[in-house]
Amino acid sequence: MRYKISDWLPTTAKEVKERGWEELDVILFSGDAYIDHPSFGPAVIARIIEAEGLKVAVVPQPNWRDDLRDFKKLGVPRLFFGVTAGSMDSMVNHYTAGKRLRCDDAYTPGGKSGFRPDYASQVYSKILKKLYPDVPILLGGIEASLRRVTHYDYWSDKLMPGILATTKADMLVYGMGEMPLKEILRLLQKGVPFKSLTNIAQTAYLHTDGELTPDKNWKDLELSSHEECLHDKVKYARNFRHVEEESNRWQAARLIQPVGKAKIVINPPYPPMKSKELDASFDLPYTRLPHPKYNKKGTIPAFEMIKFSVNMHRGCFGGCSFCTISAHQGKFIASRSEKSILKEVRQITQMPDFKGYLSDLGGPSANMYKMQGKDLKICERCARPSCIFPNICSNLNTDHSAMTEIYQKVNKMHDIKKAFVGSGVRYDMLYNKLCSTKEQQSHKEYMKELITHHVSGRLKVAPEHTSSNVLKLMRKPDFKLFHKFKEDFDEINKANDLNQQIIPYFISSHPGSRIEDMASLAVETKELDFRLEQVQDFTPTPMTVATVIFYSGIHPYTLKDTFTAKTKTEKQNQRVFLFWYKPQYKKTIESLLKQNNQQALINKLFSNKKTRNVLCSNKEYIFFRKK
């Protein structure tokens, strides 16, 4: 299909003029390049505003270092400025776990770095407030979402106040923003002043005028102030627990955190989106392509990665301690309808460079589609951060049939040669022994369908570690389940004459991980006949259990002291165990194990048993490769 420039939302004054618009209702500033695709939050938000009958333009990656012409070129919007750092926290985007500046940016043409500032939400908002002090700013995206209360910032190594206090934005939408955004637009269109929008779910604002009026629909829960958190790490840790628990409730409290002389007020989230509501976001008139302005500037890596993939659902009930998905998307699963998914697959097959291969039929986790509580009234009262740790909830329906049916229908579609599942699989759910016989049968059918028809030679799974103690802190299943899954994986491959392998993810220096834990990890992977080429170091990102532990040394649920490797030397000492087979690290490893009285591990690690497989890396994670 051939597109005209007007099929994208305008990004310049010329494009606005060509549409015959005299005034814009909303101008959206984004740290990402403009990719008009449902996998990119700025495009979704812009298309929703358009669908509400409003005039919206996108200013992607504005230059903040010149005369600020990008912030001035479209003038003043009638309703508000929207600001987002993009699809990633700008600091995670910019820096490695070792705080080294990255040389690339997956959300920029040519993968070039340097097109967005550090703390992009703050920089953009401050510029706009200086230029247009009377125009409201609506803040959103993952950076704003994860920084909505006092949070530890790894890159500056200090606690920062909620982002509303530093940006002076007028309102923040956290999480997946479709529902609150539609309500905001509806009320503004009715003439309600922006400053009066204080009772919209899933939004936050900075209250500065006198006493806060109670809301009859929500109970209030006051958090320790930012200033208290600065002086008391236990209060900071307790705050996190309150935020996580309330984020997971259907009937959540309104959170209030004092900061200076003001208060950050965080209204409870919306209930999980229904399929019809989620379909509406995916069915908007996206071109599914980057804006033509980038045609001669190189490909955009993030787009190339997902251009032939389909996102089937949102949310993740895994609740992993180091992961931000549930903190942003929520732990409850919102699933698209089968009709909407198959419609998108057909759209992909019409793309001129499509060769018949879907790169992914998945989501945040590959196999959570359509899963929810059997009795939703129980879910409404539940504040448990994970539905599958420390055990799989007896109320969780883990039936995989809906996914298997979609996989099979996609397989039969014309122009589809193969549909891969590139998202990570939660293999622990496939061994749920407390569920019904029907569910257990669906697990077996799903595993067979997945392994025989949807693996690109390598299947992603995430054991993350081998130590039981570390895995408990991670909220991950025991490593014995990985052994079981690998046995079944190999058996299915053998029965179908396939030569496929597993891609496991591992993390070093996670809270709780000590030298002996990393040594055991090295021994266990050696016994599985693998060598590790690289491993991802734990990166403390805002709004995770692991980050709270990293900063405070305290587990936010038990308030017990918890060890974390923090210094450069401590982290390097953990990393070397992943390279045990390299001669240059042997003396260091032996010395570290002797210091920890682990002679038995030395013997196991440096026995003469040969390995058959090699693990290689794509910069961030570990991959299996046949030697």
Q: Give 587-604 as a DSSP string.
A: HHHHHHHHHTT-HHHHHH
User: Would you say 359 and 308 are in contact if contact means Cβ atoms under 8 Å apart?
Assistant: yes
Nearest to 429 by CA among 501, 366, 483: 366
Alpha carbon distance 241, 245 (integer Å): 6
Mean pLDDT score of the chain, rounded to an integer? 93
- pLDDT band for position 383 (50/70/90)? confident
CA distance 518 to 508: 7
CB 188 within 8 A of CB 170: no
Q: How confident is the model at residue 591 (pLDDT cuts 50, 70, 90)?
A: very high
Structure tokens at 459: 């299947």
Record the pTM. Answer: 0.93
Q: Look up tokens 């494009």; give the residue.
A: 15
User: Which candidate, 300, 374, 403, 402, places its Cα nearest to that of 33?
Assistant: 300
Residue 216: burial class (beta carbons within 10 Å; 0-12, 13-18, 19+): exposed
pLDDT band at 73 (very low <50, low <70, confident <90, very high): very high
Mean pLDDT of 331-338: 96
Q: Which two tokens stand for residue 525?
A: 């992977």
- Which pLDDT score, from 0 to 100, does residue 26 have? 98
Q: What CA–CA distance (Å, rounded) separates 330 from 175?
A: 7
**Alpha carbons 373 and 249: distance in angstroms, whole number:** 13
Res. 18 pLDDT band, cuts 50 70 90:
very high
User: Quick check: 291 pLDDT over 80?
Assistant: yes
**Residue keyed to tokens 């669908």:** 51
pLDDT greater than 50 at residue 617: no
What is the pLDDT averaged over residues 341-351? 96
**N residues, the chain:** 627
Read off the pLDDT band of 272 (50, 70, 90). very high
Averaged over 101-109, what is the pLDDT? 97
CA torsion angle for 147, 151, 153, 159 (degrees, to 10)?
140
Confidence of residue 256 (pLDDT cuts 50, 70, 90): very high
Residues 39-53 have pLDDT tens digits of: 999 999 999 999 999
pLDDT surpassing 70 at residue 611: no
| Averaged pLDDT, 352-364 | 95
Alpha helices in 55-119 (DSSP H): 69-72, 90-94
Q: Are 257 and 263 in contact (CB under 8 A)?
A: yes
Q: Is the dihedral of CA 592, 596, 599, 605 positive or negative?
A: negative
What type of residue is 164? L
Whether 248 contacts 385, CB under 8 Å: yes
User: Over pLDDT 90: what percentage of the chain?
Assistant: 85
**ω into residue 272 within 30 of 0, thus cis?**
no
Instruction: Tell whether the model's pLDDT for residue 616 goes beyond 80.
Output: no
154 and 547 Cβ atoms separated by less than 8 Å: yes
Question: Residue 427: is its pLDDT beyond 50?
Answer: yes
Question: How many Cβ atoms from other residues are within 10 Å of residue 50's Cβ?
Answer: 16
* CA-CA-CA-CA torsion sign (505, 510, 516, 519): positive
End-to-end CA distance of the chain: 43
pLDDT reading at 198 higher than 90: yes
Can you list the positions of beta strands (E) in 474-602?
A: 501-508, 536-537
Average pLDDT over residues 484-498: 96
* Per-residue pLDDT tens over the stretch 433-483: 889 999 999 999 999 999 999 999 988 888 999 999 999 999 999 999 999
Q: Does position 618 have pLDDT exceeding 90, yes or no?
A: no
pLDDT at 620: 39
**Is residue 437 packed enough to be buried (19+ CB in 10 Å), middle (13-18) or exposed (0-12)?**
exposed
Q: Of 385, 387, 482, whose CA–CA distance to 431 is shortest?
A: 482
Mean pLDDT of 356-379: 95
pLDDT category of residue 503 using cuts at 50, 70 and 90: confident
Q: How far apart are CA 364 and CA 416, in angstroms?
A: 23
- Max Cα–Cα distance, the chain, nearest Å: 77
Q: Does residue 174 carry a pLDDT above 90?
A: yes
pLDDT at 534 exceeding the cut of 80: no
Q: What pLDDT band is residue 532 in, cutting at 50, 70 and 90?
A: low
* pLDDT beyond 60 at 304: yes
Given pLDDT bands bounded at 50, 70 and 90, which one contains residue 544? very high
Instruction: Quickly tell me which residue has 């945040």 as its tokens.
Output: 364
